[in-house]
Amino acid sequence: MRAACRVAYVGDVRSEKGGVDMIEFACLEDVPGAKEDHDLVLFALSTCGWCRKARNFLEGNEIAYRYVYLDQLEGDEQRAVLTEASNWNPKRTFPTLIIDDKDVIVGFDDSSYTEKLL
């Protein structure tokens, strides 16, 4: 059974993007990887081909990350996660990758992922 997706902010410090630093949602799934250079959070949809490409890139390069499929959430938990994702990507498009609570890549582009993560 999946844990409820409640948000817990570490330090409660507002970021420049308007969100809260150090995103912590109970519903984030951890994907282990040999490379843990960055704290990565991927907001995605389970039916999105570009989201699948983003996950394949991260896993293929053995990069640790956390993700959540917004379309698999409901009610208040979906609204909470969507609000946080919207702080980084007001257009609400997917995938949205947050890097170290400082940077964002909207959509999937192999060269952008390579430049920022490898």
H or E segment and range at residue 83: helix 75-88
3-state DSSP assignment of residue 31 = strand
Residue 66 has pLDDT above 60, yes or no: yes
The string of pLDDT tens digits covering residues 70-99 is: 999 998 889 889 999 999 999 999 999 999
The string of pLDDT tens digits covering residues 31-65 is: 999 999 999 999 999 999 999 999 999 999 999 99
The whole domain housing 105 covers 29-117
- Asked, for residue 8, whether it belongs to a domain, the answer is no
Structure tokens at 70: 């917004």
Alpha carbons 87 and 102: distance in angstroms, whole number: 12
CATH code of the domain covering residue 34:
3.40.30.10
pTM of the full structure: 0.82
- Asked, for residue 72, whether it belongs to a domain, the answer is yes
Angle between helices 110-117 and 49-60 (to 10 degrees): 30
- Asked, for residue 103, whether it belongs to a domain, the answer is yes
- Asked, for residue 101, whether it belongs to a domain, the answer is yes
- Beta-strand pair 65-69/40-44: parallel
Average pLDDT, the chain: 84
- Asked, for residue 15, whether it belongs to a domain, the answer is no
- Asked, for residue 88, whether it belongs to a domain, the answer is yes
Q: How many domains does the chain have?
A: 1
Structure tokens at 36: 């843990």
- Asked, for residue 2, whether it belongs to a domain, the answer is no
- Asked, for residue 109, whether it belongs to a domain, the answer is yes
